[in-house]
Each structure stands twice: as C-alpha cells, then as structure tokens.
C-alpha cells in the first residue's frame, strides 16, 4: 500500500495525487463561463467564408469523468471538419472535447485534450447523438464535454452559425448553490448532492418529505410556490432545529416561501426562513 502526498523533490507524482484537490472540488465539467464577453470554447462558423467546418473558440474549462477532473485551456481557435451529407435526409452532429487517456503526453500535455465531431444518424426528423453514442466514439474511458449540436442538411455545402446550437454548460463546483425545479409529490424525496436549491409548485398538501445526499455544514434551500387555488400545506422532514416554532408556508396563490437548512455533525439540521409571502414573476 502507498499513501501519496506532494513534496518538493519528488519527480514522479501519480496523476491522481496531482489532480486530487482539484477533482475533489469539481462537481461536473463544462466551460469557465457562459457570458457574452468570454466565449469559452464557443462553436461558430468558419469565419466570414463558411464551409463544411466549424471553429472552436479559445477558452478555459474542465472535463470530468468518473475519475479525475482535468483543467483544459485553448489558446488558439481550432478548426474541425464536418463530414458531407448526401443521404437524402438531414442529420445532427455533436462537437465535443475529450481527454484521450491513452495518449502519451508531450512535455506540455498539449496533445491529450482532443476535439471531435460525432456524426448523428440521418433521418427525416434527426436527433443529436446521445451521450452514450459520443462516449463510444471518443473511447469508453475518455471523459468529454459536449460543446454544440450542428444541423447538417442533405447536400449542405457550408455550416453557418444558424446551424449551430450551443450545448455548453458551465462547470460546477461542489459547494455552489445549483437551482432546479422539483416535480410535485405529496411525499417528495430531495437529493441535495447534485442540486441544493429546489423550487416546487404546490398542487396539493405535502404529507412528508425526505432529504439525502447532504454534507455537514453545506447549506441547501427548499422553495415552495402556492399553485392552483392555494391553501396547501407543507410537512418538513424531521430533526430540524428552528430558531422559533416550525414555520407555516404562505397559503396565498402564487406566493413563494424559501427555507435554508444547514446539516450539522450531530445528524440534525439548522432551519431558517429566508423569506415568505414573496411575489413571483
């Protein structure tokens, strides 16, 4: 058995050890940012003279699979070809970045992150390649991120921006709040390991709920909106310590209540009212 750490003088650090602190902080892969100023790895047509290829913009991001998370950086636009289509039907291709774990790295490891255009199946109403199809195309063990889906018409001679559907997502860290909509249930089960800010529209009373996937001292938020004619009630999960009495949700239609919870090391939860009776747009 070997236990690794990082110290000056060591010359053969295992990859897992070097990437450990970074991997431990990353929840899921993607690009650095999706704002309009920094177009990290954005896919676009080939300059002013569009042809059967697309450009991958410069940028930074993270590719994470079942093992390590890999930081990636692109300093020059990359051009990738889209194969022609003479099938009689359109198709949709996926443009991806992936880590080739079988590649022998150069001194700067600039040959490990690779791009690919994974062709979809031609059909009258085509769909983009599934993640499983992409995984097969890039190699079963190689982690990847999808950057865009590209519509390829029958007989197409060029790919323009109108054919490109952006599919980038921003990479997520394990301690940031990630909002999601929760489908209504009278007995909802919340998994806060991947999403820790849920919003639910009430259409009946919640009789009970459970929470799993939480981490001690990492907060999560549950929000409720009164739907229908309103008047619905919520029974919270157990072991919550509120500063005052257990709160009652606002019963007015279209009003929203928000509650924050902090798991404690003793197995209980601190519960706080973030806001009640809020208007929603």
In whole angstroms, give the CA distance from residue 238 to residue 216.
16
- Summarize pLDDT for 133-168 with one digit per residue, the tens: 999 999 999 999 999 999 999 999 999 999 999 999
Q: Can you give the pTM of this predicted structure? A: 0.74
Instruction: With a cut of 60, say whether residue 1 has pLDDT above it.
Output: no
pLDDT at res. 175:
73
* Structural domain spans, the chain: 15-172, 177-279
> Judging by DSSP bridges, how do beta strands 91-99 and 189-191 pair with one another?
unpaired
pLDDT, tens digit (0-9, with 9 covering 90-100), for 92-114 = 999 999 999 999 999 999 999 99
Q: Any bridge partners for residue 95, and if so which?
A: 117, 148
The bridge status of strand 269-279 relative to strand 189-191 is unpaired
DSSP-H helix ranges across the chain: 15-25, 131-138
User: What's the first-to-final CA gap in the chain, in angstroms?
Assistant: 58
Q: How far apart are CA 38 and CA 47, in angstroms?
A: 18
Mean pLDDT of 227-254: 96
Cα dist. 52→82, 85, 93 in Å?
Answer: 5, 10, 12
């Amino acid at each position: 058995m070997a236990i690794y750490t990082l110290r000056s003088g060591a010359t053969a650090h295992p990859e897992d050890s070097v990437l450990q602190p970074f991997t431990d902080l990353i929840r899921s892969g993607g690009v650095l940012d999706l704002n309009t100023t920094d177009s990290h790895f954005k896919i676009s047509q080939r300059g002013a003279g569009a042809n059967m290829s697309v450009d991958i913009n410069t940028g930074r991001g993270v590719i994470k699979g079942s093992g390590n998370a890999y930081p990636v950086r692109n300093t020059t636009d990359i051009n990738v070809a889209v194969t022609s289509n003479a099938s009689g039907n359109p198709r949709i291709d996926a443009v991806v970045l992936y880590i080739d774990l079988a590649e022998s790295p150069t001194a700067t490891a600039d040959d490990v992150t690779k791009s690919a255009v994974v062709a979809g199946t031609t059909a009258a109403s085509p769909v983009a390649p599934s993640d499983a199809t992409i995984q097969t195309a890039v190699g079963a063990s190689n982690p990847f991120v999808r950057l865009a889906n590209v519509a390829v018409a029958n007989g197409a001679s060029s790919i323009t921006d109108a054919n490109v559907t952006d599919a980038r997502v921003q990479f997520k860290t394990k301690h940031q709040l990630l909002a999601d909509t929760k489908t209504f249930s009278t007995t909802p089960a919340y998994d806060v390991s991947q999403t820790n800010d849920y919003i639910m529209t009430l259409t009946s009373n919640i009789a009970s709920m459970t929470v799993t996937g939480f981490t001690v001292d990492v907060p999560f938020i549950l929000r409720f909106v009164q739907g229908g004619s309103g008047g619905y009630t919520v029974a919270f999960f157990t072991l919550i310590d509120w500063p005052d009495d257990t709160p009652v949700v606002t019963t007015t239609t279209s009003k929203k209540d928000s509650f924050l919870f902090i798991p404690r090391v003793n197995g209980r939860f601190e519960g706080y009212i973030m806001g009640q009776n809020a208007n929603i747009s």
